[in-house]
């Protein structure tokens, strides 16, 4: 319990906000990026990693090259060694740029030493799903079948992308096609995957309807297991619909299933999410009385819920219980404590948790920094947030960059947002549609229409179809500024994107 002493809350006199010039001294000394704890920050040369960076950086700087006739020659000049591992990693890194991923994949498969794999196709399908290229996705499925690489997991992936695109009928249909067209057996595990996909894409009501429909079937009826019920419980928890959650819970028990640690964890998390912490604590007590040992997830839920309710002392108490339980220290639970301190604006304590994580070798990770940045931005502490970002000891993720870019955009500092954007691109991290929308909208607001057009074209070059409201706003700003020629040019480029198929290079 010795370590817990470092988490005693600071007195109110010590927790006051310090001027920005004094803030840097409060931050933990960062471990330089790319360094291993306990070692110098020397970069280990890895030829494959260098080749991956070459490719991703090339596409990041030349998104318009995706379908150009000079692309094969340009990639050849990179002088990289194509391996299955390299191809897979590049496809994952191009996950926000499906058209670029297709271009690289088609070039790679013509190189010596290339071997197709299920994982490559699935990475490609996932990125294409983000830009709703479902016709091409099914062409890839047929390729996978011919090569003997098709698995059930592929259909789960397709269904997930349909569901996130609000194409619920097609999401369900993907599983029907799996059975009827591609001759895979349909079992309870597949049914559970289907309702899990629907729940995780915020189509919980439809998942419930599918489940209720299965119960009414006389032929090919599947008997549910506890996993079926936990999926639906988690779905209604995410929707914060306690009435439907408790209905499913009662049905589960009526069918003879006893709640286990997973079920209790979902119930506790659900009550915490709707600020019913006292009820969550009652469930925790019921759970322990029945001899069910709390998991790290249970402690994490309670620390997060109590922290967000600004019941900091109780959150720290449960962290102490977690610490004393003998469970292996994990980053998510420590991140929950970081969040609890942040909710109570105890940032000095939050930074001390980062030191503890370093000592234990479990972080901090990018999610830790995202939590701190979120709370600093929410509190309007832009300078402190930017300082934390600059001192990060791990590489930021696209989520981190999005937080910082949005922060500067909300402050009407698109100059700084573009600076962060350029840093992101130099690291080979590619923005998604939401990030483009944030920046372009802010540039319109600041009447920087030339820049707005520049980033809008960059988005199109990456094969990302713009949301209608975004183009409508940009178009109106351009018309108001007398720039009808730009409207015509962008409209033509959008139409070209819609009509241009993604094909082999």
- Predicted local distance difference test score (pLDDT) of residue 134: 93
Q: How confident is the model at residue 28 (pLDDT cuts 50, 70, 90)?
A: very low
What angle, rounded to 10 degrees, do the helices at 366-378 and 398-410 form?
10
The span from the CA of 141 to the CA of 155, in Å, is 9
Question: Quick check: 299 pLDDT over 50?
Answer: yes
Quick check: 1 pLDDT over 50? Answer: no
Kindly report which listed range (166-180, 210-224, 271-285) carries the lowest average pLDDT score: 210-224
101-151 tens-digit pLDDT:
998 999 999 988 789 999 999 999 999 999 889 999 999 999 999 999 999
In this structure, are residues 7 and 352 in contact, taking their beta carbons and an 8 Å threshold?
yes
Distance CA 505, CA 501 (A): 11
Report d(CA 436, CA 413) in Å as an integer: 15
- Residue 22 confidence (pLDDT) above 70: no
Q: How many CB atoms lie within 10 A of CB 151?
A: 14
Phi/psi for 277 (5° steps) reads -70, -35
- Rounded CA-CA distance 454/450 in Å is 6
CA neighbor of 459 nearest in space, from 127, 163, 99, 102: 99
Highest mean pLDDT among 51-65, 99-113, 288-302, 418-432: 288-302
pLDDT value at residue 46: 53
Q: What's residue 504's pLDDT? A: 39
Q: Please state whether 420 falls in left (phi above 0), alpha (psi between -120 and 50) or beta.
A: alpha
Proportion of the chain in helix, strand, coil states, percent, rounded to 5 = 70, 0, 30
CA 383 to mean position of chain CA atoms: 26
pLDDT at 246: 97
Six token digits for residue 249? 């819970």
User: What integer pLDDT is reported at residue 17 of this predicted model?
Assistant: 31
What number of other Cβ atoms are within 10 A of residue 79's Cβ? 8
Question: ω into residue 364 within 30 of 0, thus cis?
Answer: yes
Q: What is the residue extent of each domain of the chain?
A: 224-276, 294-357
pLDDT at 379: 94
Q: What contacts 24+ positions apart, CB below 8 Å, involve 443-450?
A: 443/414, 444/473, 444/474, 444/477, 445/412, 446/412, 446/414, 447/477, 447/481, 448/414, 449/474, 449/477, 449/478, 449/481, 449/483, 449/486
pTM over 0.85: no
Reported residue count of the chain is: 505
User: Do 377 and 408 meet the contact criterion of CB atoms below 8 Å apart?
Assistant: no
Residues of the chain with pLDDT > 70, as a percent, come to 88
Q: With H, G, I as helix, E, B as strand and everything else as coil, classify residue 501.
A: coil
């Amino acid at each position: 319990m010795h370590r817990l002493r470092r988490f005693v809350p600071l007195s109110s006199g010590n927790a006051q906000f310090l001027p920005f010039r004094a803030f840097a001294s409060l931050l933990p000394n960062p471990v330089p990026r790319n360094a291993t704890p306990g070692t110098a920050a020397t970069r280990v040369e890895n030829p494959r990693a260098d080749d991956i960076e070459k490719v991703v950086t090339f596409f990041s700087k030349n998104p318009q090259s995706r379908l150009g006739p000079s692309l094969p020659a340009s990639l050849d000049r990179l002088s990289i060694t194509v391996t299955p591992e390299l191809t897979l990693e590049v496809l994952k890194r191009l996950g926000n740029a499906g058209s670029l991923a297709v271009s690289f994949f088609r070039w790679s498969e013509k190189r010596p030493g290339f071997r197709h794999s299920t994982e490559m196709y699935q990475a490609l399908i996932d990125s294409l799903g983000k830009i709703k290229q479902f016709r091409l996705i099914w062409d890839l499925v047929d390729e996978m079948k011919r090569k003997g690489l098709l698995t059930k997991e592929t259909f789960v992936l397709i269904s997930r992308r349909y569901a996130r695109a609000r194409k619920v009928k097609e999401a369900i249909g993907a599983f029907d096609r799996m059975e009827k067209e591609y001759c895979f057996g349909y079992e309870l595990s597949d049914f559970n995957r289907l309702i899990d996909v629907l729940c995780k894409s915020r189509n919980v009501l439809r998942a419930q309807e599918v489940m209720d429909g299965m119960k009414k079937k006389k032929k090919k009826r599947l008997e549910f297991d506890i996993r079926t019920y936990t999926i639906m419980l988690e779905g209604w928890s995410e929707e914060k619909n306690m009435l439907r959650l408790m209905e499913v819970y009662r049905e589960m028990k009526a069918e003879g299933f006893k709640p286990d640690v997973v079920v209790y964890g979902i119930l506790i998390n659900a009550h915490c999410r709707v600020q019913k912490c006292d009820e969550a604590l009652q469930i925790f007590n019921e759970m322990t009385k029945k001899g069910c040992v709390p998991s790290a997830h249970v402690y994490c839920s309670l620390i997060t819920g109590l922290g967000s309710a600004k019941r900091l002392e109780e959150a720290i108490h449960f962290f102490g219980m977690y610490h004393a339980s003998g469970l292996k220290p994990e980053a998510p639970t420590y991140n929950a404590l970081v969040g609890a301190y942040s909710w109570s604006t105890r940032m000095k304590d939050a930074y001390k948790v980062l030191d503890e994580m370093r000592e234990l070798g479990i972080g901090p990770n990018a999610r830790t920094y995202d939590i701190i940045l979120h709370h600093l931005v929410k509190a309007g502490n832009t300078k402190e947030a930017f300082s934390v970002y600059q001192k990060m000891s791990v590489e930021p993720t696209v989520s981190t960059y999005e937080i910082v870019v949005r922060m500067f955009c909300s402050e009407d500092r698109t100059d700084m947002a573009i600076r962060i954007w350029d840093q992101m691109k130099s690291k080979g991290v590619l923005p998604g549609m939401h990030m483009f929308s944030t920046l372009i909208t802010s540039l319109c607001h600041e009447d920087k229409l030339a820049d707005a057009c520049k980033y809008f074209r960059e988005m199109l070059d990456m094969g990302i179809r713009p949301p209608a409201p975004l183009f409508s706003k940009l178009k109106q700003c351009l018309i108001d500024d007398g720039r009808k020629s730009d409207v015509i040019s962008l409209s033509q480029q959008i139409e070209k994107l819609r009509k241009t198929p993604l094909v082999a290079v």
